[in-house]
Amino acid sequence: MELRGMNERIRALRQQSVSTQPRLSLERADLETDAYEKYEGCVSIPELRALVFRHLMENKTLCINEGELIVGEKGDGPQAAPTFPELCCHTLEDMQIMNDRELISFKVSDADMELQKNKIIPFWEKRSIRNKILNAVSPQWRDCYESGIFTEFMEQRGPGHTVGSENLFKKGFLDYQQEINEAIAALDFQNDPEALSKKEELNAMSICCDAMVILGKRYEALARKEAASCSDPQRKSELLQIAENCAVVPAHRPQTFWQAIQMYWFVHLGVTTELNPWDAYSPGRLDQHLNPYYQNDVQQGILDDAKALELLECLWVKFNNQPAPPKVGITLKESSTYTDFANINTGGITADGEDGVNPVSYLILDCMDEMRLLQPSSNVQISRKTPQRFLKRACEISRKGWGQPAFYNTEEIIQELMNAGKTIEDARKGGTSGCVETGAFGNEAYILTGYFNLPKIFEITLHNGLDPVSGKQLGLPCGSAEDFHTYEQLMEAYQKQIEHFVHIKVDGSNRIESIYAKYMPVPFLSIITNDCISRGKDYNAGGTRYNTSYIQGVGIGTITDSLAAIKKHVYEEKNLSMKELMDALHANFEGYEAVRHLLLNCSPKYGNDDDAADNIMKEVFGIYQKCVTGRPNMRGGQYRINMLPTTCHVYFGEVMLASPDGRLAGRPLSEGISPVQGRDSQGPTAVIRSAAKMDHISTGGTLLNQKFTPSNVAGEKGLDNMAHLIRSYFNLDGHHIQFNVVDRQTLLEAQKHPEDYKDLIVRVAGYSDFFHNLSRALQDEIINRTEQSF
Amino acid sequence: MKIPTFINIQRYSIHDGQGIRTTVFFKGCPLRCVWCHNPESQSFQRQLLFDSSKCCVCGACIASCPQSALSITEGTLRTNWSQCNACDCDFRCEAACIHEARFLSGEQISLEKLLKLLLRDRTFYEESGGGVTLSGGEVMVQDMDYLLQLLQKLKQEEISVNIDTCGYCSYECLEQVLPYVDTFLYDMKAFSDEIHRQYTGVSNQLILDNLKRLSQGGAKINLRIPVICEVNGSDEEMGRMIAFVKEHVRLTQVNLLPYHRAGSDKWERLGMKGETFCPPSPQRMEELKQLWLDAGIGPVYIGG
C-alpha cells in the first residue's frame, strides 16, 4: 500500500522531539514546595494534593511548539522532565550522574542544582514516600530487595498502569464536577462514619476539575496571544483554532476529532503531572473512542484521512516529548531508558462483542508506521473477528524489525479479565498496557508491585536457604542440594522457598500500598477512573471498581531448563552427582566443561515442544501462580501474576551464580516466557507450542519474543505466514507475541558468539539451516545479503 | 516393516509448498548427484559429520575410539575413515566431543513417534493451509509399509501431504501413494540420458516414464529443476525438457532452483569429495524462466 509519508510539519516536530537533549526541569518541584509551604497542615491530605495540582496548573510554564496542532507539555518544553520529590528526592550526586553520564543523560542547569540544594532537598529529603517506605518495610524485605530476590516498582514511582476509557471522550471536567457535587450532596453524615473522608476526597477531586479548567483557559489565552502576533496567515488560523479547541476542552466534552485528541492530551498531562505513574497513562481503545468523532467530522466535511492522520501524528510526537521521570540512587545508575510505558491498543472488539476495527484503526497503523517512535508503544489486539487485512497490515509494519506493533489476543484477554471477576462488558473494553499487563480500562487500578526472581530462589533452595552471593540467610533452612534424594523432594523444598519469599514480598507491598493510600492520594486520577466518585474514595485507596496487584515472575525458561537438567542427569540417568553439579556451579564451570556440556547440550530445553521440559515449566508456573493468586491486597482486591521481565532479567542474572541450565554466573536470565536465549532449536512453531502450554488465562499477561530473519517473513507469503503463526498462537490461548526481525548486527554478533545464537535459523538458498552450522564464508554471504528490504 | 532412518524433521518449513509445513527428510537416495546440497542424505546408514572449524584438538575423541582411527598430526585432528567401523552406528567419538565438532546424522524413528511429532503442529497446518512434506534423500525407495501406513494415518487426520521425489522408483510405488498425496514435488535433473548418467549415476528413463504416468494418473505435480549451467543450463537441454513436458505432462507449477555452493562444506565434513560448479547468474535464470513461459508452461518460479 502507498504510504503518504510524514508531511513537513510532522517531520519538523518529530525531528525536534528526537533531537532535543532531555533535561531536568525543577519547576514542578519548586511550585509544589511553595504549595506545601502554603497549605500543608491547613487542609486534609487529599485536598492538599489537589491544591498542589491546582497550583501547578495555574503557574506552570506553558509552551506551544512551532507548527504543532496539539498543545501542552509535561515540563516547560519538549524533553523537559519534571521531578517528583514527594516520592523520591534526588541527591546532588544523583543529579550529577544524570548530567554527566554518556547514555540516557538528563542535563541539569546550575540554577536547578542550586535550587535542589537549597530548597528541594531540605524540604523533601525526610518527607518523601521513599523514605517512609524504607522505614516501614521489614528488615527481611530489605535484605531480599537488596539481594535481587524481587524489585519494588513503587519505591520510586507512583502506582502506575492505568488507562482511560470512553469517559475521557464523553465528558468535560465541568461535567465531572457536577457529578462530584452531587456525590457530596448525597453524603450521609447521619450514618456513614467515612462521610468526612469521602467529603475531603470529593472536595479534592472538585479542586482538580478547577485546575484543569484553568489550564485550558491559560492555553486558550496563550494561543490567542500568539495568533495576534503571528504573520503567517495559515499558522494564525491554526492558532485561533487551537484557542477555540482549548475554550471547549478540557472544561467541556469535545465536539470534533481534533478536540477529542486535545482532550486526551490534557488528561494525560493531568495524570502525569499529578504523580508519575511511569507515564503509563494510555487512552485505552483510542480507535474506538475517536471513531464517532472521525465519522461525524468526515460527514460534516471538516476532516479527511490526511488531516486525521496528521492530528494523530501530532499526538504521537507529544507522547515522545515526555521522557521517563529519572530515578534515584542505584536504580538511577542502572536505568538505561528514556522510554516510558504509554501503550495504545488498536483493534480488538467492541463492548457489545463486535469487531472493533474501524477506519481510525487503519489510520493509527499508518501513524505507527510513519512515526516509528518508541513512545507511545503501539500494539494491536487481534480477535477471531479481526479482518485478515488489518492483521496483515500490522504484520507488514512489525516485520520492518523495530518491534512494533506487538500482537495481543483479544479472546484470551477477555477470559483473563473474566477469570479475575470482571463483567463481560468491562472485559471487552479492556486490554493491555505497560508491557503486556491486562486491565479493565477506565475501571481498574492494576498495580505492578515488582519482579520476582524465580531462578534465584532456586539457587537459594540449593543452598539451604542461604544466598551464596550476599552470604545472607534469606530463605528457610529446609535442606541443601545433596539432602534432596529425589526430584520430588527438591521440588517440595523449592515450593516452600517460593511461598516464603512471596510472603515477604506481599508483606512489603501491602505496607507500601497502605502508605500510598494514606499519604499520597491522586484525586485527579480518581476523577477519571470509575467508580472513585461514587464511592468517594481515592484511586490509591481502593476507590476504583477493580483493584489488582500484580507480581511479575521472571526467568521461567532458566528455572525450567535448570530443573530439567537436574532431573535428567542427577535423578534419572544418575550420570552426574549433585555434589559435582554444585562444585561446577561454584566454579562457574571452570574446569567442569564436560559438566556444562551435559547441562547445556544434552538436556531437555523449554521452547522445543519437548514435554520433558515443558511439563516442568507448567509445574513451576503452577506453584508460583497458585502461591500468589488470590492473596488479598490492601485495596479490597487481590494479587495476581504476570510473566514479564522488561529488562529485569539482566539485573536478576547479575545477582546469581552459574545455574544448572549451563548459564554462566552473572549472565542474563531468560526473558518473559521466551526460551533461554539460543536454546530453542526446533523453530517458531515449537516455541509457540511450548509457550502455549502455560496457562495464560490464569495470569494478567505474558510476554513472548520471537526472532526472525528477514527472509523468513519476506514477500506476501512471509506476511501470510506471520499472520498464520499469530492466529495459531492465539488459537492456543497465547496472550502476546512480538517479533524481532534480525538485522545484520545480530548476525555479526551470532558469528562472534555462536553459543548464544543456537536458535538462529537463516534461509540459505532454497532451504534453511542453523546459522551456527554454516561455514564462515557462507555466514559472511548471508550477513551481506541481510540488508534486503521487502 | 523396516524402520527408515531420518536426517531431520524440520518444523515451520515455509518454502516447500502451501502454508506452514513440517518437512520430513528421509535418509538414503538411489541417486548420486554430484552437486547434492545434502550429501548426508545419500547413504541409508547413520553417518558422522566432523566440522574441523569447531575442533579444538583436545584429543578426547582419540581416547574414545576403539579402532584407533583418530590421531593428531601437525596440530590437526585426522580421521582415517577406512579404519572407522562406526562402532555399530554408535560413534563413540561423537559422545566424547564436548565442542560439538562431531555430529551424527541419521536417526530411526518409529511410525508412532513420527506421527506424534507431525501432529504437534496441526494447529499451524490448519490455520495456514499447510501440512506435511515428505522429502529426503528419497521417499519412494523407503519401506513401503511404513510409508503407506504413515500416509493413511495422515489422511485420516485430514492433514495434507506433499511428496518431494526424484522419481527413481517403480511406478507401482507411486501408484500406491497417489491417493494420499496432495502434490508431488517432482525433480527433473536433465533430459539427456547421457548427462543424467554422468552427473547422477543413473539413467533417467524410469524417471521420465514415471513422470508421464503420474501425470496421466491425475497427480498434481510441481516440477523442480536444479539449474547448473554446466549440466542442464543450456538452451538446448532446457528446450528438450520443455518439449517433453509440453507433450506428456500437466504441471501446476515449475520451480527453477539455481545451483548454490552452500552444501560444499558438508561433503568435507563427511570426509567425501563433491564437485562444485558456478552458480547461474540471475539474468540466466530469467532467460531460462522465459523459455518455459514461451512454451506456454507456467507459472514458473525461480527458487522455491
DSSP chain B: -PPPEEEEEEEEE-SSSSSSEEEEEES--S---TT-S-GGGTSSS-EEEE-GGG-----HHHHH-TT--EEEETTEEEE-TTT--TTTTT-HHHHH-SSS-EEEE-EE--HHHHHHHHHTTHHHHHHHT-EEEEESS-STTS-HHHHHHHHHHHHHTT-EEEEEE---S-HHHHHHHGGG-SEEEEE---SSHHHHHHHHSS-SHHHHHHHHHHHHTT--EEEEEEE-HHHH-SHHHHHHHHHHHHHH---SEEEEEE--STTHHHHHHTT------PPPPHHHHHHHHHHHHHTT---EEE--
Residue type, A390: F
Closest CA to A395 of A431, A432, A368, A358: A368
pLDDT per residue as tens digits for the range A692-713: 999 999 999 999 988 777 777 8
pLDDT per residue as tens digits for the range A529-580: 999 999 999 999 999 999 999 999 999 999 999 999 999 999 999 999 999 9
Instruction: Give the integer Cα–Cα distance in Å for A165 and A161.
Output: 13
The CA-atom distances, in angstroms, between A675 and each of A678, A693, A745, A757 are 8, 13, 21, 12
| B10/A contact by beta carbon, under 8 A | yes
What is the DSSP-derived secondary structure letter of residue A162?
E
Cell of B113: 513417534
A728·B128 Cβ contact <8 A: yes
Out of A435, A532, A627, A648, the active site residue is A435
Judging contacts by C-beta atoms under 8 Å, the chain A residues touching residue B304 are 766
Residue indicated by cell numbers 547422477: B200
Annotated catalytic, A166? no
B11·A768 Cβ contact <8 A: no
pLDDT per residue as tens digits for the range A602-612: 999 999 999 99
Residue B159: predicted pLDDT: 97
Out of A437, A444, A513, A671, the active site residue is A437
Closest CA to A732 of A679, A695, A765, A677: A695
Quick check: B262 pLDDT over 90? no
> CB-CB: which of A724, A765, A769 is closest to B124?
A724
Judging contacts by C-beta atoms under 8 Å, the chain A residues touching residue B51 are 773
Q: Please state the rounded mean pLDDT for residues B188-202.
A: 95
Annotated catalytic, A532? no
Task: Judge whether A176 and A263 are in contact, CB under 8 Å.
Answer: no
Instruction: Tell how strand B76-79 and strand A23-25 pair up.
Output: unpaired
Judging contacts by C-beta atoms under 8 Å, the chain B residues touching residue A597 are 98
Residue A789: predicted pLDDT: 37
Judging contacts by C-beta atoms under 8 Å, the chain B residues touching residue A727 are 127
B123·A731 Cβ contact <8 A: yes
Residue A333: predicted pLDDT: 61
Q: Is A643 left (phi over 0), alpha (psi -120 to 50) or beta?
A: beta
Q: How far off is chain B from A641, nearest CA to CA, in Å?
A: 28
Instruction: Give the integer Cα–Cα distance in Å for A619 and A615.
Output: 6
ipTM surpassing 0.90: yes
Instruction: Give the integer Cα–Cα distance in Å for A622 and A630.
Output: 13
Quick check: A12 pLDDT over 70? yes
Cell of B169: 522408483
Buried b (16+ CB within 10 A) or exposed e, A326-338: bbbbebbeebeeb
Instruction: Give the integer Cα–Cα distance in Å for B124 and A721.
Output: 9
Phi, then psi, of B226 in degrees rounded to 5: -70, 125
Instruction: Name which of A730, A775, A780, A781 to mutate to probe chain B: the one with the most chain B Cβ atoms within 10 A of its Cβ.
Output: A775
Closest CA to A502 of A617, A657, A640: A640
Instruction: Give the integer Cα–Cα distance in Å for A317 and A307.
Output: 15
Residue B79: predicted pLDDT: 85
* pLDDT confidence tier of residue A788, bands split at 50, 70 and 90: very low
Q: How far off is chain A from B190, nearest CA to CA, in Å?
A: 19
The number of CA neighbours under 13 Å toward the Cβ of B170 is 6
Task: Judge whether A738 and A378 are in contact, CB under 8 Å.
Answer: no
What is chain A's mean pLDDT, rounded? 93
